[in-house]
Structure formats: C-alpha cells, structure tokens
Structure 1
Amino acid sequence: MTTASTHLSCTDLAFSWPDGTPVFDGFQLAVGPGRTGLIGLNGSGKSTLLKLLSGELTPASGTVRAVGEIGRLPQNLTLDTGLRVDEVLGIAAPRAALHAIESGDTDERHFAAVGDDWDVEERARAALDRLGLGRIGLDRTIGEVSGGEGVLLKLAALLLAGPDVLLLDEPTNNLDRYARRRLYDAVAGWSGVMVVVSHDRELLELVDQIADLRDGEVAWYGGNYTAYEEAVAAEQEAAERMVRVAEADVRRQKRELIDAQSKLAKRRRYAHKAQVEKRVPKVVANTLKGAAQQSAGKHRAVHAERLAGARERLDEALEAVRDDDEIRIELPYTTVHPGREVLRLKELRLRYGAEVRGEFDIRGPERIALVGRNGAGKTTLLRTIAGELAPVEGEAETLVPLRFLPQTLDVLDDGLSIVENVARVAPSATVNRIRARLARFLFKGARADQPVGTLSGGERFRAALASLLLAEPAPQLLLLDEPTNNLDMVSVRKLTAALEAYEGALIVAGHDVPFLESIGITRWLLLDGGLYDVDPEDVRSGELRAPQPRE
C-alpha cells in the first residue's frame, strides 16, 4: 500500500532467475522519506531488489514506482581505468566547455553545454573534499586511484547529480577506516530518500528504519540497528513464550482426549455388561447403544479437533521463532599458553614496499587486529606469514601450526562435499567424528554431504572456517583476511561464536571495528610503511597515521 509520503514502491512484484529460481512473488514494498537499512540473510534478494528498484532488472510482473530520479551505487563497482576523474563525476562536458569559454571561445555550443553549471568545478571539488578526496585532481585517471577511492568517486558523482532516491549496495565493502568515516559522514548528511544494503553495523546505526527481508517479505522496524536488535529480542522472547504456552496446550488437549476415550470405553463396558445381564430390554439396549456410539463419535471429534487446533497454534508459534542457530564448539587443541612464542618477524621487507623493522614477535594467545589504508600491504603481510609469498628481505618464522583464510575463501574444493573437504585436512579423523564436529558448525546430517560449489556465501564461509579449525594439527595461529566482507549479520554472529571457542593466537586484517571488538582484540597494529601499535580509539575515528620518527 502506497501513501502520499511513499517515494519508492513495489506492487505485486515477481522476479525469477533465467534458470527458473524464484526470488520474489507478489512482493510488496513502500519506502518513505529518510534513510532505510535493508538487511537480510545472504541470498535473500537484497541486491536483486535494488537492481529492480533502479530499473537495471525488469520484473516478470508487478510494478515499481519512484518519485523523482534514482541513483545507485552497485556492490561490485567496475570503472574503466582509462576514464578521467571528471568523466566519472559526469562533469567532463560542461567543464571542457567552461574552459573553452574562459580561453576566449564564444561558440554558442559551449554556453549550451555549461547551462547553469558555471560553478561545476567548485562543486565537484567540494564533493571530493567532503569525501576526503581533495588531493585527487579532476584530470587524473581511474587507473591512478585505489579501489576504495574509486567507490568514493562514484559516490561523489551521485552526490553531485543529486538524485531524489539514493540506493547503496554494500558501500563499505573493501573500504579502509579512513574511507569508511567519509562515507558515514556522507550518509549521515543525506537529506533525501536512501536505501542502503549493508552488514556494516556502524553504517546501520545511522539509518532511520530497518527493513528486514526474509522469505520474500519485508518486516519494518523503526530506529537504527541497535533499536532493531532490541525489538527482535523482544519479539523472540514473546514468540518463545507463545511456544511454551502452545506446547502446554497440546499436552493438555492430549490428556483430555485420553481421559475422554477412557470414559467412553468405561461406558461401553458398562452398557455391554448391562445388556449381557439383561438388566434392560434388548430394544432399549440397542437404542441406548446407538445413541452412545453417536455421542462418543461426536465427543472424540470435538477433542481431536481441539488437539489439531492446539498443534496448529504450536506450528504458528514455532514459525515466529527465528532459526538462527549459533555455532557451539570446543577447540582445546588450539590452546597456546601465555608466553609461548608464536610468530617472529625479523627485518622483514615485503613486496610492494611495506617493512617490519628490527624484530617483532607475538607470544601467547594474543588477538591482533591488523589495520591500515587500502593498499598498505595487509594481505601481502598475511600471505608472507602464511608462506604463500616470499619476502624481499628478512624472515617470517611461525613456531606453531598455522592456518590462513583468504578473502577469496579458495581453501575448499568445489567438487567435493563438506565432509570430504574436512577429511582432506584431517586425514586421521573418522567420517563419524568429522560429521559430529561439522554438526557443531550447523552442517547436520545430509547438509554435510552438500558439494561446496552449491553452498551460499554464508554457508561457504562457515565450511571454510570449519575446515581450518578442524584441521590436523589444530591451528594455534589463525590468520583471517577481511572475514566479514560479504557476510550477512547472522553469519557474522556465527563467526564470532566460533572464534570464542578458539584458544590460539589470532591475526585479523579488517576494517569492521564492531566485529573486531566483539572477538576480544587485545592488540591493534597499524601497517603503514612499517608495523606500529596504535590506540583503538584512533582506529574507530579513522585517523590512522604512522608515528613520526623522533628528531
């Protein structure tokens, strides 16, 4: 249902993929003013919905309506590296015409191209400054900027265009802390209609309402993500209470049905005895018998109907309880005792320029967050520690069993089942033991036999994590590279639960501060030319700089 305040709506929307897989059927949506956070499980259709809203995809049936212009920032942004910055911003034509007029060319076509945009360069530079891109010249090419800067440039283009409705799809993926802070500021300052798909908790704290997409329907919650969590917790408490009430009702109806059947059986025995002993005439006995059978049938039907109703109410109550199971595991063999040396870096110089001067070591079950700007070399450092890349100089020595989970999750064989993948890294474990342990990672029964290539993004991540943590020997140093990228909020909670059971040393490269704080980071390291200890408050603010050498 749309109202006068609705700016974006879907009515009876239907969409399926070319292979026939349905995504939406009879879908309804009405978005009003303000910032809306669109959340949901991986594969629920969030990105597909934004593409339908922006017109990039066409629904099989139904309608999409928008008030005004729509601008969309896609999740996987690809820009031609040969484009100039002014071309990405969409101001190349008026800017070129303006320069021609300033040089004395009075051709009317130049004035037509400029139109009312006489301050186009000033507005462009102001938009770039707002996003921390003031040092990037308008004549530079995309090939000269980082991937994160490319995302911010595209956002600057949208801000310059000033659409009525702004759609952002996972905008903070792959952005460093500096870039994220600039994007957060832009979102907080947006006064139009915005729909943002994200699993970034800090970003979701800035929205005015949450739209939770589940099973092809949207449930609305007022306020930011914290308010959403509180509302869902209250809903789940009420739902679980209703389940307990419904279960008690089912038990009561079963007892009453059994009691009723016992009473009817007793009456039948009494009537039969009376007939045998000829205490009543046969005609009267047959009449009473028929009436009793009819009454008994009605009585049974009433109680059976009540029991069926109680079971139906129990099913409805169970449906209201979310099936977001948590990972519960024990990993005693990952234990690292305090003081034990885990990793030693010595005069290390990495490819692409980063260095670790002198000696650097990690001892005991430290939990380290590795932070830094995009391109600082965080992934390169992790791959060097893991032995995948050789350092230019120096050495990286691991003194305990190590496992590395890259962003690409390419530690699994897509053609093998989950069980078979774990068996490859735990050759002495029996199949039954592997299945029992995979059940703790929520791969129960036949689900553990699924080929990895058929898994959703969240399931694939969980399977990759299981293969690392269940490996032999058990890892006592775990390296994770941007582990929450592309994970929905439920999957992030499951990852957090799994890491709570891990008792070894941990190095996590990432920009997701709420996640890093939730896993109990004990040390924050900045990679910026060298490796430096930093204050977590500086990480939160995004103002990360290497300490200046003393004079």
Structure 2
Amino acid sequence: MAASSTPSVTCDRLTFSWPDGTPLFDGLDLAVGPGRTGLIGLNGTGKSALLKLIAGELTPASGTVRVAGDIGYLPQNLALDTTRRVDQVLGVDRIRAALHAIEAGDPDEAHFAVVGEDWDIEERTRATLDQLGLDGVGLDRTVGEVSGGETVLLRLAALLLRRPGVLLLDEPTNNLDLRARQRLYAAVSAWQGVLVVVSHDRELLERVDHIADLRAGEVRWFGGTLSAYEEALAVEQDAAERMVRVAEADVRRQKRELVEAHGKLADRRRVARKAYDTKRVPRIVANSRRSMAQESAGKHRQLHEERLGRARERLAEAERAVREDDEIRVDLPYTEVPPRRRVLSLRSARVRYGAGATLEVLGPERIALVGRNGAGKSTLLSTVAGELAPVSGEVLAHVPLRYLPQRLDILDESLSVLDNVRRMAPGSSQQAIRAQLARFLFRKERPDQPVATLSGGERFRASLAALMLAEPAPQLLLLDEPTNNLDLAGVRRLTSALAAYRGALVVASHDVPFLRGLGITRWLLLDGELTESEPL
C-alpha cells in the first residue's frame, strides 16, 4: 500500500492467467486517479478479474498493484450469511454494543476504547441507510429478512460508512429495482475519491467522468460519459473503416501491377528466345541480353512483391483497428403471431406471495413487466411458464411459449451448444442448426464447445438460441432480467435478436434503456396487483 494523501490505483506490468493456463493480462499498465471511472469491455475481457486484482482477492503472476488509500469492494455475486444482523453487515455492531453498555452505566474503559470518536455512529448509520432508501431496515434485523436488492444496498452502505479512498463496484445495479437504482446513482454521483465501476447500466455510466475500455488486455481511456465515448468511438471507427477501404484498394492495385510485371518478364523472355532461335544476333549477345532482361524483370517483380507485402501489412493493421463486435442476426418467420390473436390469458390469477393478475395478451404485443424487488415478477413469470401452479384463478397460454429465467439453467452443462439446441429442436438437421447457430455468433468449432466451458455472455447467447430455435417455434417469450451480467455489446446483441422475433414478448427488467429499445407496446406494473403503467 503506497503512502499518499491522494487516493489512486496503479497497476504496473500486470500479468495474470486463469488456473487452466489461459492468459488474461500480459504486461497490463493502468493508472486511476480521483474521479468516477466506468470500466467497460466485452464479456470475458477480464473486467471483474481486474477489480479482484486491485482489491487483492486475486494475485498476479508478475507485476505490481499499488493502491493509495483504503479499498472498498462490492463484488458482482454477493453472498451474505442470512443469519447475520444488519449492524454486523454494516460493521458497526461492536461500537453499538459498547455505546449501549456505556448508556446503561457500565464504566469499563474497554467500551470507551471501542467507541473512540464514533459517538454518532448510529445517527451516521441511519443517515446512510436513509440515503440509500433503506430507512425501514432496522439495525437488529437479520439479512434473511431483507430482499436481494436491499442486501446489495446494505453492502454498499457498509462501504460508504467506512469512507474508503478507493471504491470498486462490479455490476452494482444487478437485481436492483428502479427506485433502488436511483438511490445508487445518487450515491455514485456524490462520491469523492477514486471510483471504478464495472457496469452495463447505461444510466449509471452517464454519471462517470471517464470511460476505461478494456480490450485485448489493454486499457484505452476516453474522457466523459458513455455517450461521449460512443461518439468518439463512432468517429474513430468511421476513420478506421475508410482506412480499410483505402488499404484494400492499394492491395488490389499492387496485385495488378505484380501481374503486369510477370507479363512483362514473360514478354522479354519470349523476345529473347525468338532472337536466339532465329540467330538474328550472336549467341553470346543474345544470352547477355536475356540475362540482363531477366535480372531487370526480376528486380521489377521483386519491387512489386515488396510493395504488395507492405500493402497487405497496412490492410491488416487497418483491419485490426476495426472492431468486430458482431450482431446477432436471425430470421424467425415461424414465431410470427397474427395481430389480435389471443396469446395469453390470466383470469383472476393469484400466484405465490399474494400477487394477483388479470390480463389478456393479444397478437405480437411487447410487454414490459416492472415493479420493485420482491413484488413477485419472477414468480408471475414462473407461473405463466407452468413451473409453478397458481394459488387461485387460471393461467392459460394459447400458443407455444418458452421461458428464460434469471438463473440461465435451461441448458445441460455436459452437452455441447449444438446438442443442447438439438434437444429442443429434434426435427431439425445438424447442418440447419449449425447454420442458425452461426447467426448467434457460434461459428466453426464453437457449436461443439461444452456449455460448462462457456463465458457468461456465451452462455446467454446459447440459452437464447436454444429458446428461439426450439420446436414448436415459440410464439411467446418470457424473459426475466435478461440483461443482468451482459456487457454493453451483449445488451445490443440481445436487442438486435429480439427485434427479429415476431412473436409476443413479456420482459421483466429494471433496465429502462433496454426496455425502451425493444419497442414496448404496453407497460405493466406489479405492486400487489397487475395494473397498466405509464411508459418509463
């Protein structure tokens, strides 16, 4: 830990590989100063691993990590003991106990030593909880009594109470409802010190000062928010694509000139051979001319071959500057639902935990299901999918449907991507499935890869492919928080794929920009009962 009054993070020549030997970083350099930094990149580029290296939870093979200031780290997958009290999670339980003992008249000096200067700890704790919208959470309650989203906010509250100089957040808005997200946005906007946040949440990334783009083991910096980054990148990519076109034209020209050089050499050989055969010149002169012509033509050809080689190198360099963030492109005509056709009926349905719903879905509607954490959105979707029985009333699906839960557990881990899709589409040939999987970016040998070895983004694409290519073709898709743990490119790919889907869609999500991009036709709010809502 470096001694400095200004918080900072410095990674010098950082090298790290996964336990199976797969390299992740090879000589990574990074310097982060005060301010809010959004760390972005494709799934699998190592964003979460980099935060763990900075936090000391992973050890680099070589290189150094230097942090000036205390570190506060909020991991992506947060698991807390449900039996612990809230004040224990917040790290204030010992101080509270000492304060209460002093207030009860116990003069033991040990209590005063524990309290130190924190006589207002309970007031500060309550103020921090109130700031995050946790004003109803008592300090003596257990973690098991609060929702998953409140658990994330509790861990953030613990970090804010510590006031670390360096705060690392990994996908902090996952599983937070809209109100909780707004609270977190406010906390991030007010943060003083070093903040590094990994997120696909566009609204959160519009509140940062810098964007750090992690790609191919290197970090590139862009000043400003996500929108400023995207504008700068668009300009850069336009220029890169123009350079590719220029380089391609140069390669074609050099190829033509090389062919012409070969032709000239052949012509000179024919002339020399004819002069030799007809004995129009002495043999010694003919041989000399032929040698000179061959040497000259050979140099000419070599010159053009070198030019062609340099042109190809420039083309390769130009192509490397163009990002290949492919889009999912699918055409699914069999999923089409005629307008006004009845798709789903919920008749006075009441599901577990008391949520009730009456609903008719007609034709290719696109419905956003929103509501606070714990309102029962996942339970409602599970009931519609037939995984749970309604407590009362009826749930009737009038068309084939498929359901993608948050846990992404619809695939057999031991099977390949191809075999998983074949399970759901037994009537399709292997060749036809491979052709469709290529559109989901599983090309060449990738469909034969076991699901257990896939990254998070690949697993999501494989799950989506299995659902959308299933037989019979699904005319109703149910998606539960599908953007959780997807990078920005993954969210864009999902939006593109769903744009090609022609059936009805019900999506539970707190990701408002994503929902807006789907062309939602109806917004439904679940808060005890299911009701129509204004667009968000």
Q: Classify the TM-score, shorter chain.
A: over 0.9
Range that drifts further, 453-462 or 164-173: 453-462
* 1:449-468 pair list within 5 angstroms: 449-468=448-467
Equivalent pair of 1:6/1:30 in contact (CA under 8 Å): no
Matching of residue 188 in structure 1 with residue 160 in structure 2: no
Matching of residue 29 in structure 1 with residue 36 in structure 2: no
Equivalent pair of 2:6/2:69 in contact (CA under 8 Å): no
* 1:43-442 pair list within 5 angstroms: 43-356=44-357, 359-442=358-441
Q: Secondary structure at the match of 2:445?
A: helix
**How far apart, in 2, do the equivalents of 1:531 and 1:233 lie?**
41
**How far apart, in 1, do the equivalents of 2:200 and 2:5 lie?**
30
Q: Secondary structure at the match of 1:365?
A: coil
Match of 1:508? 507
Q: How far does residue 53 in structure 1 lie from its aligned partner after superposition?
A: 0.4
- Letter paired with 2:376: G
Match of 1:38? 39
Equivalent pair of 1:70/1:164 in contact (CA under 8 Å): yes
**How far apart, in 2, do the equivalents of 1:413 and 1:430 lie?**
20
Equivalent pair of 1:370/1:507 in contact (CA under 8 Å): yes
Residue by residue, what CA displacement relative to the aligned partner does 1:296-353 show, whole Å, maximum 9, x if unpaired?
2221111100001101111111111111111222112212222211111112111122
Identity of aligned residues (%): 69
Equivalent pair of 2:6/2:68 in contact (CA under 8 Å): no
**How far apart, in 2, do the equivalents of 1:302 and 1:347 lie?**
82
- Letter paired with 1:219: R
Q: How far does residue 198 in structure 1 lie from its aligned partner after superposition?
A: 0.7
**How far apart, in 2, do the equivalents of 1:503 and 1:252 lie?**
46
- Number of aligned residue pairs: 534
- Letter paired with 1:336: V
**How far apart, in 1, do the equivalents of 2:421 and 2:142 lie?**
45
Match of 2:446? 447
Equivalent pair of 2:7/2:166 in contact (CA under 8 Å): no
- Letter paired with 2:146: V
Residue by residue, what CA displacement relative to the aligned partner does 1:171-218 show, whole Å, maximum 9, x if unpaired?
111111111111111001112110001111111111111111111111
**How far apart, in 1, do the equivalents of 2:437 and 2:60 lie?**
39
Equivalent pair of 1:175/1:374 in contact (CA under 8 Å): yes
Q: How far does residue 102 in structure 1 lie from its aligned partner after superposition?
A: 2.2
Residue by residue, what CA displacement relative to the aligned partner does 1:128-151 show, whole Å, maximum 9, x if unpaired?
110001111222221211111111
**How far apart, in 2, do the equivalents of 1:475 and 1:434 lie?**
16
**How far apart, in 2, do the equivalents of 1:321 and 1:188 lie?**
33
**How far apart, in 1, do the equivalents of 2:449 and 2:72 lie?**
39
Residue by residue, what CA displacement relative to the aligned partner does 1:158-178 show, whole Å, maximum 9, x if unpaired?
111111110001111111111
**How far apart, in 2, do the equivalents of 1:128 and 1:377 lie?**
24
Equivalent pair of 1:73/1:155 in contact (CA under 8 Å): yes
**How far apart, in 1, do the equivalents of 2:382 and 2:121 lie?**
44
**How far apart, in 1, do the equivalents of 2:277 and 2:396 lie?**
96
Residue by residue, what CA displacement relative to the aligned partner does 1:522-551 show, whole Å, maximum 9, x if unpaired?
1111111111111123xxxxxxxxxxxxxx
**How far apart, in 2, do the equivalents of 1:223 and 1:292 lie?**
62
Q: Secondary structure at the match of 1:536?
A: coil
- Letter paired with 2:184: L
Range that drifts further, 285-294 or 119-128: 285-294
**How far apart, in 2, do the equivalents of 1:360 and 1:396 lie?**
9
Q: How far does residue 5 in structure 1 lie from its aligned partner after superposition?
A: 8.0
Matching of residue 499 in structure 1 with residue 498 in structure 2: yes
**How far apart, in 2, do the equivalents of 1:469 and 1:70 lie?**
43
- Letter paired with 1:361: E
Range that drifts further, 332-341 or 277-286: 277-286
Match of 1:488? 487
Q: How far does residue 271 in structure 1 lie from its aligned partner after superposition?
A: 2.3
Match of 2:472? 473
TM-score (norm 1): 0.94
Range that drifts further, 471-480 or 5-14: 5-14
**How far apart, in 1, do the equivalents of 2:448 and 2:408 lie?**
19
Matching of residue 16 in structure 1 with residue 17 in structure 2: yes
Q: 1:281 to 1:5 in 2, by over 3 A?
A: farther
Q: Secondary structure at the match of 2:373?
A: coil
Q: Secondary structure at the match of 1:195?
A: strand
**How far apart, in 2, do the equivalents of 1:94 and 1:467 lie?**
53
Match of 1:546? none
Equivalent pair of 2:16/2:62 in contact (CA under 8 Å): yes
**How far apart, in 1, do the equivalents of 2:445 and 2:140 lie?**
57
Residue by residue, what CA displacement relative to the aligned partner does 1:498-531 show, whole Å, maximum 9, x if unpaired?
1111111110011111111101111111111111
Q: How far does residue 431 in structure 1 lie from its aligned partner after superposition?
A: 2.2
Q: How far does residue 68 in structure 1 lie from its aligned partner after superposition?
A: 1.2
Equivalent pair of 1:68/1:164 in contact (CA under 8 Å): yes
Q: Secondary structure at the match of 1:347?
A: strand
**How far apart, in 1, do the equivalents of 2:145 and 2:422 lie?**
45
**How far apart, in 2, do the equivalents of 1:194 and 1:84 lie?**
28
- Letter paired with 2:371: G
**How far apart, in 2, do the equivalents of 1:493 and 1:273 lie?**
67
**How far apart, in 1, do the equivalents of 2:530 and 2:256 lie?**
70
Range that drifts further, 326-335 or 425-434: 425-434
- Letter paired with 1:95: R
Q: Secondary structure at the match of 1:445?
A: coil
CA RMSD in angstroms, aligned pairs only: 1.7
Q: How far does residue 287 in structure 1 lie from its aligned partner after superposition?
A: 2.8
- Letter paired with 2:434: R
Q: How far does residue 4 in structure 1 lie from its aligned partner after superposition?
A: 11
Q: Secondary structure at the match of 2:10?
A: strand
Structure 2 segments unaligned to the other structure (5+ residues): none
- Letter paired with 2:211: I
Equivalent pair of 1:210/1:225 in contact (CA under 8 Å): yes
Q: Secondary structure at the match of 1:271?
A: helix
**How far apart, in 1, do the equivalents of 2:418 and 2:20 lie?**
28
**How far apart, in 2, do the equivalents of 1:162 and 1:400 lie?**
54
TM-score (norm 2): 0.96
- Letter paired with 1:532: T
- Letter paired with 1:427: P
- Letter paired with 1:477: L
Residue by residue, what CA displacement relative to the aligned partner does 1:50-102 show, whole Å, maximum 9, x if unpaired?
11101111111100111111111111111122222222111122222222222
**How far apart, in 1, do the equivalents of 2:306 and 2:343 lie?**
66
**Structure 1 moving runs of 4+ over 4 Å:** 2-6
**How far apart, in 1, do the equivalents of 2:274 and 2:359 lie?**
95
